[in-house]
Chain A
Amino acid sequence: MTDDAGTTRPDHREPDGSTVARREPDGAIADRREPVLTLPERVFEAVDRRLPYLFLVPALALVASLVVYPVVRAVELSLHEVVLINLSDQQFVGLSNYATVVSDPVFATVMRNTVVFVGASVLGQVAVGLGLALLLERRWLGGRLTRLFRLAFVLPWATTGVIVAFSWQFMFHPRMGFVNETLRALGVATPPTWLNSTRWAMAAVIVATVWRGVPFSLIFQTSGLQSIPSRLYEAADVGGASPVQTVRHVTVPLLWPFVAMNLVLVTLFTVNVFDIVFVMTGGGPLHATEVLSLYMYETAFDVGAFGRANAVAVILFGLNVAVVALYLVAFDRGNGGVR
């Protein structure tokens, strides 16, 4: 930050001769410019002075037109009757799309599936990620071994979602899969058919999702652990604290904000998981694995009820906002406790 940022300079003359009160990002240096300038130089100077703002324009334009505007558009479309085949024909129908969605018996199943899927996946990802992060923080492991393990653990996050889905589909294959082969070797005579079974498909999808998401939590928690000053551990050591006491009184309280933030982010990711479920089961069998994101996609592009799909998209968006709000409240309370 420059010292005199924010200074108002009423005496400053714009290239077109008008006097405008404006803020100089770094006015001190601008004073050194030559008093007499040719026209191209003046234009260049005018552009250069606004450079910091110009630097932001492309990003701002892109995000405004392709993220913010679509959100508004989704709300608008959700209030209209629109079919996929003729997108330009939009009839205003008020909230009737929402009424249709909520009264759809499949929607109840979808919401139940979403809660089970998101709840189990989030807990799995954060717990496994945190556990591995704690194990990887051991100093005596040495740099090379830590890097090697971390590379192995990071792989799933770099893998294409479609390939993750296919991998696990193959793992859970009733005849050729590794999982059932292991179960048979362990003496289970008729192992489940996993993705073809209404009872086990969800479990299989959750396993794949957790597998994919563990690296994110691992990395996030590692950076959390690294932010804890080592002198606190030294103090605990000098004070004669046992390893359990150290974790209980040093690691847990200082790591809590990271865990909370991690939970928020992972929940957001998981609510929006699409590729893994879509490829592994397509929502089946009999809607057993159909989560909200799939339901929305199906409504839009298979059923073709585009207005209704936007109502589901708005519900999905609302769910995201609710998650963030919920965690912010919980996070605030947790923080207050520590202070």
Chain B
Amino acid sequence: MRSRLIELRYHARDRLRAARRYPERTAARVATVVTLATSAAFIALPLYWLFSAAFRPQEGIEVPPTLFPGRVTFDNLTAVLAETAFPTYFVNSVVVSALTVVLAVVIATPAGYALSRYDLRYERAFMLAVLLVQMIPLLALVTPLYQMFAAAGLLDTLAVVIVTDTVMVVPVGIWLIKEYFDTLPEGLEEAARVGGATRLRAFLVVLPLARPAVGATAVFAFVVSWNQFVIPLTFTSSQAVWTFPVGLYEFISRRGVVNWPLLGAASLWAMFPVLVLVAAFQRQFVAGLSGRFGGGRR
């Protein structure tokens, strides 16, 4: 403890001396950190504003509003679970996201592997198609899909939501996994094949090495399906199969008057899994976001 303090003091004195010697550079650095911190605060503010409503008492939010709740209460957090249909929506969301993750990984992993490892016919065309498919807007697909699902009698089921969510993430997954396998050496599979293993076995042998890319695909699939709104809004109509975004929209603001403390509480519960996931798997999340893995200098 004591030595740490001394160390800090030396550090501070060192910084101070540097600041005196190079005042411009120091000013630039301070300005950068201040800008970044202000931006971070600005980005956190709207979420804080909504989430903090969850801890404010029901008897009217203070007007004029205060930055910190005057009296902190946890009633809203329990009330939204006990007195509303939110738990049903939450469970539906968990089911949808879990199955989307599984389906997306199961479909995208072998496809990405095949595209990376084998010299296939029409491979370039296929990769180009994967890229182009991502450029087709989901919104333009909503009406024809609605008609197709209606004709097949599949509307108002979780299955439709899961399948459509999966289609939205598979192209990105294929891309991520192909790129990652491209960086892995082929020696292991060659050894396995020379040793008499089938192609399937060889695939299973190298599969564990692709864990980072599979993880990134899974995180991406989870976040996309967890946050998906248009698909469940359009393809489901009965409350029993709503996921939470639809529940939040339809249920809490129905009378035009929004119960902000309850909404804040529901949002907080809904965001909790994502916040934990993103904090824990920041690298995978970022990879899913940019469609590429690390790369460049580090």
- Give A residues with C-beta under 8 Å from B: 1-2, 5-6, 23, 25-26, 29, 32, 44-45, 48-49, 51-53, 55-56, 58-60, 62-63, 66-71, 73-74, 77, 82, 87-88, 128, 132, 135-136, 138, 140-141, 145, 147, 149-164, 166-171, 175-178, 181, 184, 208, 211, 214-216, 219-220, 222-223, 226-227, 229-230, 268, 271-272, 274-275, 278-279, 293, 296-297, 300-301, 306, 309-310, 313-314, 316-317, 320, 324
Contacts and interface: CB of A to CB of B under 8 A. Distances in A.
Contacts of A32: 194, 196
Given A66-B167, A74-B140, A161-B229, A135 B270 contact: no
Contact of B61 (A155, A176, A184, A279): A176
Given A25-B119, A219-B289, A313-B142, A44 B198 contact: yes
Interface in B52-73: 53, 61, 63-65, 67
Contacts, number: 281
Contact of B64 (A160, A170, A184): A184
Interface of B: 29, 32-33, 35-36, 39-40, 43-47, 49-50, 53, 61, 63-65, 67, 106-108, 110-111, 113-115, 117-121, 126, 129-130, 133, 135-148, 150-151, 163-164, 166-167, 170-171, 174, 190, 193-194, 196, 198-200, 203, 223, 226-227, 229-230, 234, 244-245, 248-249, 258, 260, 263, 267, 270-271, 274-275, 278-279, 282, 285-286, 289-290, 292, 295-298
B154 to A, nearest CB: 12
Nearest to B252: A166
A297 B231 CA distance: 12
A22 to B, nearest CB: 10
Given A67-B141, A181-B64, A155 B278 contact: yes
Given A151-B282, A268-B137, A74 B44 contact: no
Contacts of B44: 152, 155
A176 B143 contact: no
Given A135-B35, A170-B50, A63 B133 contact: yes
A320 B132 CA distance: 11
Contacts of A170: 46, 49-50, 53, 258, 260
Nearest to A152: B40
A53 B245 contact: no
B88 to A, nearest CB: 17
B137 A25 contact: no
Contacts of B118: 2, 5, 25-26, 52
A151 B278 contact: yes
Given A152-B44, A155-B43, A176-B65, A62 B107 contact: yes
B107 A58 contact: yes
Given A68-B133, A162-B248, 7 more contacts: A62-B163, A67-B136, A132-B39, A158-B227, A168-B46, A178-B65, A310-B144
A169 B155 CA distance: 31
A6 B144 CA distance: 40
Contacts of A272: 137-140
A216 B196 CA distance: 46
A306 B148 CA distance: 13
A295 to B, nearest CB: 11
A161 B285 CA distance: 17
A277 to B, nearest CB: 12
B31 to A, nearest CB: 9
6 closest A-B pairs by CB: A226-B296, A5-B119, A55-B110, A55-B114, A73-B144, A70-B144
A55 B67 CA distance: 54
A48 B198 contact: yes
A159 B227 contact: yes
B282 A48 contact: no
A209 to B, nearest CB: 12
Contacts of A58: 106-107, 110-111
Nearest to B40: A152
Contacts of A227: 295-296
A227 B29 CA distance: 24
A278 B276 CA distance: 28
Given A160-B270, A215-B289, A70 B278 contact: no
Contacts of A155: 43-44, 47, 275, 278
Given A62-B170, A136-B36, A157-B289, A274 B50 contact: no
Contacts of A268: 135, 137
Nearest to A316: B140
B40 A74 contact: no
Contacts of B137: 268, 271-272, 316-317, 320
Most buried by A among B46, B118, B171, B174: B46
12 contacts: A23-B121, A52-B199, A53-B120, A59-B111, A70-B145, A74-B141, A153-B40, A158-B223, A178-B67, A296-B143, A316-B139, A317-B137
A313 B140 contact: yes
Contacts of B135: 268, 320, 324
A223 B139 contact: no
B283 to A, nearest CB: 9
A230 B298 CA distance: 11
Contact of A138 (B32, B144, B227, B282): B32
Given A26-B193, A51-B199, A150-B282, A56 B144 contact: no
B144 A71 contact: yes
A19 B12 CA distance: 80
